[in-house]
Chains A and B, each alone.
Chain A
């Protein structure tokens, strides 16, 4: 299954990309979800780096994911692929298109659930709605914190 999410933010592409390429900011954009936590990351989304996080499904079932970053083309695109987790395939493509002071953020997800967990049926009826809500919350959080993005980029840049 392929899922596409787009949102626009009133910020130039540079700071937006810088914000997203810091895996520590995963916790910031998922702050609205109490069941999300970052376990460990390598501090970058350069190819070969890894990011681990967990989500609490239905408040009772923690599910741990490990992603390996595979592609890095600043400031337009980076990609990561799941190498630990319940899906047989989970590729997350991040794309950014600048338009002056605005940036279009595009997330493309290619996800497959193994047949023994219900395959496409469970994916469509149970998993996809949760992912759609997650990305809606993520866009709302981003809109709410957009004025802090430049600040956080400055902090993160100086700490690297």
Chain B
């Protein structure tokens, strides 16, 4: 899981750059009514990536648990596809998706593809083992595993903020619609 952990770390760092620069500073989507659906989709990434940041560098998952982790990967791919599909409409008023964000998404998608392949190649044997979770730190420095644990907390909090903003924007949209 060494390569998988490093790839996940890279995805996480670029994801934070995306959230900070483009979602927050550039477009402020947490206060943009048109971005409500995008925020709902983003909020789903909170628990998904928190799980990956904790599990991938620290544990081996066997049997049924392996398939649960595969399910998390599939779920994230589905979330990304929906995100790509709706973010054009979400950002239209704000001038569309910035070119830098397009590039960032492309890089993250490529790295995530590498992450999934790396996981499939190195961990496919876990599928046939007896169902169990073992604490087995990947061959990465402890500081990186600690950093990824902190990233898990941050991404969970970011997902919570997205969900809270989506609820608030939904109330604004409802009150605006009823006013008109």
Per-position 1/0 for B148-174, Cβ under 8 A of A:
000000000000000000000000000
> How many A residues, CB 8 Å from partner?
15
Contacts between chains A and B (CB distance < 8 A), count = 33
Known contacts A39-B93, A39-B95, A54-B95: A61-B21 contact under CB 8 Å? yes
Per-position 1/0 for B64-89, Cβ under 8 A of A:
00000000000000000000000000
Per-position 1/0 for A77-104, Cβ under 8 A of B:
0000001111000000000000000000
Residue B26 lies at the interface, judged by CB distance under 8 Å to chain A: yes
**Are B28 and A84 within 8 A (Cβ)?**
yes
User: How far, in whole Å, are A83 and B21 apart by their CA atoms in the complex?
Assistant: 19
Q: Which one of B32, B93, B95 lies within 8 Å of A62 (CB-CB)?
A: B95
Tell me the smallest distance from the CB of A87 to a CB of chain B, in Å: 10
**Are B94 and A39 within 8 A (Cβ)?**
yes
User: How far, in whole Å, are A40 and B93 apart by their CA atoms in the complex?
Assistant: 9
CB under 8 Å from chain A, chain B span 1-43: 21, 24-28, 31-32
A140 contact set on B, CB distance < 8 A: none
Can you report 21 A-B residue pairs in the complex whose CB atoms are below 8 A from each other? Answer: A37-B95, A39-B95, A40-B93, A54-B94, A61-B21, A61-B25, A61-B98, A61-B100, A62-B95, A62-B98, A64-B26, A64-B28, A64-B94, A83-B31, A84-B28, A84-B32, A85-B28, A86-B24, A86-B25, A86-B28, A117-B25
